[in-house]
Amino acid sequence: MPTAVALIRDGVVIDRMPENAAAFAIASYESILPEKRAQVAIEDLVNWAFQKSGLKPKGKMLAFNAQNGLINLSYALALYRDLALAIDDSASYFPGAPELLADLGSAGAREYLTTVTRQSSLDDWAQTHSGRVAASLCEILGSKGDFHKGEPHLRYMWEQGATVIYYVADAADEIVTAISCNGYNVVPVGFAHVITPERVAEAYARVRAFQKEPYLPRSTPEKIDPARLKLPDGQQLTAALRDSGARTVVTGSREEIMAHLRTYFLAQGALRK
């Protein structure tokens, strides 16, 4: 049976969710009028980014503005794009991810990365060292017009001949989307990577250093307080993904979670021992 494996690029294959949250927080905070910045702490924006994981940056900002009305959307999105490009150049894979992708491909699986990133940017990324896993994949799918992560990407994989699609996602909203695509025989697999406050604080410091003209001077705090971050633990992540409809959930730290995902695919027969 032709098997497809679809993996969210950011947060499943590439360990950059802390960086994405930091970029969202910095871009949003910088766009707020100085006299209104006292109404929100930078840690509040980082927490918001994690709470709304799965949404595009614009969607997160719109949701935040629906409650607070503080973010200058156009300025914040321009800064976020600038930071995201810098993150692309420095982000790293989860340990074991490139090897797992190569082995799945060798076993006959059709592999796809799926992301909200613009397709043109992904095509450029695939030519860099950071995008070296492209050689193991059928395609890297991004956003282009009405074609985007979610149902359009899954429908495309189905139309390419897959009779079952394993969809590995780290956000509850993405699992819900997979469940709604019941006509494509999607098997939603939750990816519960446990992120520590210290890891987020380190990511924030690195991303803040990426800022450059015309976004200087920087008004964001130099550091964030890890104690003010509200991040889910392994049990909470697993429960949220299962409650959203994940068929199974793999969990663990950065160093161990890809090995657990490999064990799952071995049990499903998608990998050779």
pTM of the model: 0.85
Return d(Cα 235, Cα 216) in angstroms, integer: 40
**What pLDDT does residue 241 have?**
96
**What pLDDT does residue 216 have?**
72
Q: Does 204 lie in the same domain as 149?
A: no
Return d(Cα 252, Cα 234) in angstroms, integer: 7
Q: Which residues have CB under 8 Å from 108's CB, separation 6+?
A: 3
Q: Does 163 lie in the same domain as 245?
A: yes
Q: Does 181 lie in the same domain as 135?
A: yes
**What pLDDT does residue 1 have?**
59
Give me 40's structure tokens. 């929100």
Q: Does 44 lie in the same domain as 173?
A: no
Q: Does 223 lie in the same domain as 128?
A: no
Cα-Cα-Cα-Cα dihedral sign, residues 79, 85, 90, 91: positive
Give me 139's structure tokens. 């395609």
Q: Which residues have CB under 8 Å from 74's CB, separation 6+?
A: none
Q: Over its length of 273 residues, how does the chain's per-residue pLDDT go in tens digits?
A: 589 999 999 999 999 999 999 999 999 999 999 999 999 999 999 999 999 987 889 999 999 999 999 999 999 999 998 898 888 777 789 999 999 999 999 999 999 999 988 899 889 888 887 788 888 899 999 999 999 999 999 999 999 999 999 999 999 999 999 999 989 999 999 999 999 999 999 999 999 998 877 777 788 999 999 999 999 888 999 999 999 999 999 998 899 999 999 999 999 999 987
Return d(Cα 39, Cα 24) in angstroms, integer: 17
Domain that holds residue 128: 1-15+93-195+231-273
**What pLDDT does residue 197 have?**
96
Q: Does 264 lie in the same domain as 180?
A: yes
Q: Does 68 lie in the same domain as 156?
A: no
10 Å Cβ neighbour count for 225? 12
Q: Does 163 lie in the same domain as 257?
A: yes
b/e for 185-213, b at 16 or more Cβ within 10 A? ebbbbbbbbbbebebbbebbeebbebbee
Q: Does 246 lie in the same domain as 184?
A: yes
Nearest to 46 by CA among 58, 60, 36: 60
Domain count along the chain = 2
Domain with 264 in it: what CATH number? Answer: 3.40.50.1000
Q: Does 261 lie in the same domain as 165?
A: yes
